[in-house]
Amino acid sequence: MGSKDNSETRTVSEVVETVLEETDGEEVVVADLQDAFASKSYGPLLLVPSLIAISPVGAIPLVPTVLGVLIFCISLQLSLGRKSPWLPKRLRERGVQRQKLEQANKKIKPYLEKGEKVLRPRLHKLFTPPLLNGIGILCALLALAMPPLEVLPGAVFVPAAALCCISAALTNEDGVVLLLGATISVLGGFAIWRWLAG
């Protein structure tokens, strides 16, 4: 994550637009996402599935589970310090219908553009090992929470929102937004635990 390249300086909305523009076919599959950003940055690779999870597409049954598995695989490799992630063929062939993804992008784009106005490089030390490895572990834990939370209406939004903040922070090396994502993780997890226990 040291020197920045083109993928790391893109805004959040530009990352999504890149996926839609640089792919073709009726489905946007994981392989398209990986080919667009592989060996450049973990940020965009985590950001796109996280955004899908909080979009209307994330309400489709089993989609949060598939996205959770994908995010877990990527996050685990980030935690281990791999330069770029490897994904199994079966997972690379999973996808989302382009039409649904485009519709979801239209709905969330105004919010993305508002949010990305606050994104800028800050607190760079948070994005260096071993803290960077810790970010990968946190993302992996959030991803593991997504499949079981799918049975609770709206609960997946909590880990997905935290992952969106963290992956956007990785993309722009914004430590303040990273801390926001970590805060959402803790408070959201506590709220869900209290709800289940009560």
The per-residue pLDDT for range 19-68, each reduced to its tens digit, is 788 777 788 888 877 777 655 578 888 988 998 899 888 888 899 999 99
Confidence band, pLDDT 50/70/90 cuts, at residue 2 = very low
**The domain containing residue 188 runs over which residues?**
12-197
- Whether 6 is covered by a domain: the verdict is no
pLDDT tens digits, 110-120:
888 887 788 88
- Whether 170 is covered by a domain: the verdict is yes
User: CB of 126 within 8 A of CB of 136?
Assistant: no
User: CB of 7 within 8 A of CB of 39?
Assistant: no
> Model's pTM, two decimal places?
0.83
User: CB of 136 within 8 A of CB of 82?
Assistant: no
pLDDT for res 144:
95
pLDDT for res 4:
42
Distance of CA 60 to the CA centre of its chain: 17
Cis, bond preceding 130 (omega within 30 deg of 0): yes
How many domains does the structure of the chain reveal? 1
- Whether 89 is covered by a domain: the verdict is yes
- Whether 124 is covered by a domain: the verdict is yes
Q: 40-74 as b/e, with b when 16 or more CB fall inside 10 Å?
A: bbbbbbbbbbbbbbbbebbeeeebbebbbbbbbbb
pLDDT for res 8:
46
- Whether 2 is covered by a domain: the verdict is no
- Whether 7 is covered by a domain: the verdict is no
pLDDT above 70: residue 78: yes
- Whether 173 is covered by a domain: the verdict is yes
- Whether 3 is covered by a domain: the verdict is no
